[in-house]
Structure 1
């Protein structure tokens, strides 16, 4: 797994049922689970709307951060999600999520965060 100082991007690969990892714009691997620190969450609204309109699937939402090795998900982590029918990543209460101190992308497809932050009110 790359440990580039500028981080990696991870997104759910629905075909492989794993997390795809990109570094420098290229897919460098597929992993069952990954943890990242200093995470920014990005979701393209234009691409989301295009997918809704055309029914196509593409990568338009991902997490970017530094890979963490051997750091288990703490009990206080909050689950978050991304759904095509709503813009952006969301916490369970519906609040938008744009960054977090750390995220855990699990083998079952679930996503968890610690110290969530939102730039939106």
Structure 2
């Protein structure tokens, strides 16, 4: 799943094929992935492509107050929490209609800036 900036919706994939667009979606057992090579290519060429995405199992769970916001920005590698910690996985994540993303982070599955 990734954010479609043109449609202003979340693109849902099954395999490599987009099967739908949703204004908002919640996932559990989330893995966040991004391609550093593609990110650098986008910076170099000024082009947009899908190089960051989330994988997980859809759920109907409402977003709890304990959820924290995370972001992906082209200027720096990886998904990041507000404190700058790289986010690799989450127990659950909520992708909202306004384009924001929130999660229940898995601290043991994340690495600090400069880590591997």
Residue 45 to residue 85, structure 1, CA distance change in 2 (3 Å): same
Does structure 1 retain, via aligned residues, the 8 Å contact 2:85–2:111? no
Instruction: Identify which of 45, 60, 70 aligns with 1:54.
Output: 45
Q: TM-score with structure 2 length normalisation?
A: 0.92
CA distance in 1, matches of 2:6, 2:38: 19
Using the TM superposition, give the Cα deviation of residue 24 of structure 1 relative to its aligned residue in structure 2, in angstroms.
1.4
> Which 4+ residue blocks in structure 1 deviate beyond 3 angstroms?
none
Residue 119 to residue 93, structure 1, CA distance change in 2 (3 Å): closer
Unaligned runs of 5+ in 1: 1-9
Unaligned runs of 5+ in 2: none
Instruction: Identify which of 113, 118, 121 aligns with 2:110.
Output: 118
Do structure 1's residue 11 and structure 2's residue 5 form an aligned pair? no
CA distance in 2, matches of 1:115, 1:90: 11
**Count of matched residue positions in the alignment of Structure 1 and Structure 2:** 111
Q: How does 1:74-93 map to 2 (within 5 A)?
A: 74-93=64-83
User: In structure 1, the residue corresponding to 2:39 is in which secondary structure?
Assistant: helix
CA RMSD of aligned residues (A): 1.0
